[in-house]
């Protein structure tokens, strides 16, 4: 009995370009934004994590149900993986 | 196949090491302690859908999977002029049945060997993050402890952020360490006590693109060493170490004409168990009026299998093997809808999410879908109050 993921590698290579394209476009688009022009960026809904408790719960659930994890933090502990 | 994936991992490792250590803020503007103390509470409940009777071994175990309840508490408070303390406490209870392994069914496909629906566990998790704020950055120390009936973990972390370029650019970085011990319920042939440790490090950069948008990208490297198997599975032997790299990119854009913010996230994950995964998340934060925000969300996830994954357990073969559905190839989608009613010092939050994992949702072709893939509905209610 085999269980193979035949096309995943091919698709992976293309999808790896996605963050690179975003990063390049982002840096290309950089302009000087004065401090008084940054009001929209300070809005609650523009935070990286507007609801940290919700993000923490999601991360914990996905960590316990899926095979991969990892984000921009120094991580936590525990399992909950039965 | 293995060589190519290892090459990808090596390339990403080199990229991670090439970025200077530093970090990104939760808010791309100023760095200062909160001006008010904020307390928060969330109650969440989710029920994993039952296993189909036809997907399990007849008359063995239960079809009823986990029912999980979680209470989350949080306090974020300024301390003096330059410090804040952010403490969270989670209390989680779970009960139900869990897959113990697989055997080959009459049609050749795997059938689940389920436990009885009598598993009960309680998890407590405490985390405290203390942050010192500087004119152009901040530094945090994080300590955590979590315990279950059969599991205990301590973790420590250090994180920092530095704003440069007139605060248009933020560099970020951090390190973390976790020490975990498992003492499974005693049974013949089962391990009695095992340990593992995990070390993590991450670096990243955030950039204000214009007055409406900001981009962040970061790389996280994690290394685990020790007992990484599942002692409750009938057949499960995994390597005693795991190295992984997760590359996260996050984008936020405010649409003034619609009074809405768009969140777009992507994560690429690669590890030395030959697993590759892609995660895309989209959220639309729509302000309905000054006191109400509605947030529809969508998440897509796809992973390849670990190289030692076997859809059907075989007793007596040498080497690493596992039939855990978490190591199988699959894809998953999550549809969510949240509403946040808020005033100047309070918020009420209600949200619902539906998670569906399926072999057909994977990016590649899955020849044999694992019968234990999950579906669940998650409901959350809660509040935040500042004073």
Model ipTM value? 0.90
- Report the residue of chain A nearest B45, measured CA to CA: A57
Report CB contact under 8 Å: B168, A30. yes
Give per-residue pLDDT as tens, B93-113. Answer: 999 998 899 999 888 889 999
Burial classification of residue B348, based on how many CB atoms lie within 10 Å of its CB (0-12 exposed, 13-18 middle, 19 or more buried) = middle
Contact list, A28 vs chain B (CB under 8 Å): none
Q: Using CB atoms, which residue from B119, B125, B254 is nearest to A78?
A: B125
Pairing state of beta strands B119-134 and B83-96?
Answer: antiparallel
Start-to-end CA distance of chain A, whole Å, equals: 26
Q: Which residues, numbered 233 to 262 in chain B, qualify as contacts with chain A under a Cβ-Cβ cut-off of 8 Å?
A: 244-252, 254, 256, 260-261
B214–chain A Cβ distance below 8 A for any pair: yes
Structure confidence at residue B17 (pLDDT): 40
More confident residue, B58 or A51: A51
| Rounded distance between C-alpha atoms, residue A75 and residue A79, angstroms | 12
| Rounded distance between C-alpha atoms, residue B294 and residue B97, angstroms | 35
A21–chain B Cβ distance below 8 A for any pair: no
- The answer, yes or no, to whether residue A5 has pLDDT greater than 50, is no
At B111, is the secondary structure helix, strand, or coil?
strand
Contact list, B230 vs chain A (CB under 8 Å): 81
Structure confidence at residue A76 (pLDDT): 58
Contact list, B217 vs chain A (CB under 8 Å): 19, 22-23
Give per-residue pLDDT as tens, A37-54. Answer: 888 898 999 999 999 999
B92 near B123, Cβ under 8 Å?
yes
Which pLDDT band holds residue A78 (cuts at 50, 70, 90)? low
The answer to whether the predicted template modeling score (pTM) of the entire model surpasses 0.95 is: no
| Rounded distance between C-alpha atoms, residue B246 and residue B283, angstroms | 21
B375–chain A Cβ distance below 8 A for any pair: no
| Rounded distance between C-alpha atoms, residue B347 and residue B335, angstroms | 23
Q: Tell me which residue of B42, B92, B43 sits closest to B68, measured CA to CA.
A: B92
What is the b/e burial string over B271-302, where b = at least 16 CB atoms within 10 angstroms of the residue's CB? Answer: bbbbbbbbbebebbbbbeeeeebebebebbbb
Structure confidence at residue B25 (pLDDT): 42
A28–chain B Cβ distance below 8 A for any pair: no
Average pLDDT over residues B339-350: 95
Q: Tell me which residue of B143, B353, B240 sits closest to A65, measured CA to CA.
A: B353
Which pLDDT band holds residue A29 (cuts at 50, 70, 90)? low
Give per-residue pLDDT as tens, B158-173. Answer: 999 999 988 899 999 9
- The answer, yes or no, to whether residue B301 has pLDDT greater than 60, is yes
Q: Which tokens in the block code for residue B172? A: 């970020």
Q: Which tokens in the block code for residue B186? A: 């005693």
A43–chain B Cβ distance below 8 A for any pair: yes
Structure confidence at residue B54 (pLDDT): 86
Average pLDDT over residues A17-36: 64
Structure confidence at residue A24 (pLDDT): 58
Q: Which tokens in the block code for residue B349? A: 């939050």
Burial classification of residue B30, based on how many CB atoms lie within 10 Å of its CB (0-12 exposed, 13-18 middle, 19 or more buried) = middle
Structure confidence at residue B273 (pLDDT): 96
- Report the residue of chain A nearest B230, measured CA to CA: A82
Which pLDDT band holds residue B132 (cuts at 50, 70, 90)? very high
Contact list, A63 vs chain B (CB under 8 Å): none
Find which of A35, A73, A81 to mutate to test the B interface (most B CBs within 10 Å of its CB).
A73
Structure confidence at residue B117 (pLDDT): 77
A17–chain B Cβ distance below 8 A for any pair: no
A36–chain B Cβ distance below 8 A for any pair: no
A14–chain B Cβ distance below 8 A for any pair: no
At A58, is the secondary structure helix, strand, or coil?
helix
Burial classification of residue A58, based on how many CB atoms lie within 10 Å of its CB (0-12 exposed, 13-18 middle, 19 or more buried) = buried
Average pLDDT over residues B334-358: 96
| B139: phi then psi, degrees, rounded to nearest 5 | -140, 140
Q: Using CB atoms, which residue from B5, B74, B340 is nearest to A53?
A: B74
B296 near B337, Cβ under 8 Å?
yes
Structure confidence at residue A35 (pLDDT): 82
Distance of alpha carbon B123 from the chain centroid: 16
A24–chain B Cβ distance below 8 A for any pair: no
Report CB contact under 8 Å: B266, A65. no
Pairing state of beta strands B236-237 and B241-255?
Answer: unpaired
Q: Which residues, numbered 298 to 337 in chain B, qualify as contacts with chain A under a Cβ-Cβ cut-off of 8 Å?
A: 301-306, 309-312, 326-329, 332
């Amino acid at each position: 009995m085999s269980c193979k993921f035949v096309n995943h590698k091919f698709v992976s290579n293309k999808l790896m370009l996605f963050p690179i394209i975003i990063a390049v476009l982002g840096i290309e688009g950089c302009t000087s934004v004065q401090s008084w022009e940054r009001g929209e960026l300070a809005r609650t809904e523009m935070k990286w994590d507007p609801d940290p408790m919700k993000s923490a719960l999601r991360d914990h659930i996905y960590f316990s149900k899926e095979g991969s994890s990892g984000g921009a933090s120094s991580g936590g502990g525990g399992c909950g993986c039965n | 196949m293995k060589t190519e994936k290892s090459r990808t991992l090596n390339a990403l490792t080199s990229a991670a090491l090439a970025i200077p250590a530093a970090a990104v803020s939760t808010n791309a503007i100023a760095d200062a302690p909160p001006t008010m103390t904020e307390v928060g509470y969330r109650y969440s409940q989710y029920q994993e859908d039952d296993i189909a009777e036809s997907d399990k071994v007849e008359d063995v175990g239960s079809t009823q999977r986990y029912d999980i309840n979680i209470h989350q508490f949080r306090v974020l408070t300024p301390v003096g002029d330059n410090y804040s303390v952010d403490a969270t406490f989670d209390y989680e209870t779970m009960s139900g049945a869990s897959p113990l392994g697989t055997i080959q069914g009459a049609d050749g496909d795997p059938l689940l060997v389920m436990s009885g629906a009598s598993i009960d566990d309680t998890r407590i998790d405490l985390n405290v993050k203390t942050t010192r704020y500087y004119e152009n950055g901040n530094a945090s120390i994080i300590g955590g402890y979590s315990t279950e009936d059969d599991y205990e973990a301590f973790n420590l972390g250090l994180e920092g952020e530095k704003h440069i370029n007139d605060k248009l650019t933020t560099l970020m970085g951090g390190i973390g360490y976790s020490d975990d011990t498992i003492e499974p319920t005693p049974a013949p042939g089962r391990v009695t006590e095992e340990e593992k440790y995990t070390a993590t490090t991450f670096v990243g950069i955030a950039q204000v693109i214009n007055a409406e948008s900001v981009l962040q990208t970061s790389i996280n490297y994690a290394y685990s060493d020790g007992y990484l198997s599942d002692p409750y599975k009938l057949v499960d032997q995994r390597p005693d170490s795991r190295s992984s790299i997760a590359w996260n990119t996050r984008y936020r854009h405010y649409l003034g004409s619609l009074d809405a913010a768009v969140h777009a996230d992507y994560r690429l994950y690669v590890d030395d168990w030959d697993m590759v995964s892609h995660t895309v998340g989209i959220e639309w934060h729509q302000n309905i009026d000054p006191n109400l925000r509605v947030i529809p969300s969508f998440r897509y996830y796809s992973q390849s299998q670990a190289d030692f994954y076997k859809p059907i357990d075989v007793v007596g073969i040498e080497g690493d093997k596992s039939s855990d559905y978490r190591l199988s190839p699959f894809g998953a989608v999550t549809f969510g809808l949240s509403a946040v009613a808020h005033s100047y010092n309070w918020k009420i939050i209600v949200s619902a999410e539906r998670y569906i994992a399926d072999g057909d949702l994977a990016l590649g072709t899955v020849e044999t879908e694992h019968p234990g893939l999950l579906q669940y509905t998650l409901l959350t209610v809660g509040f935040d109050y500042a004073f």
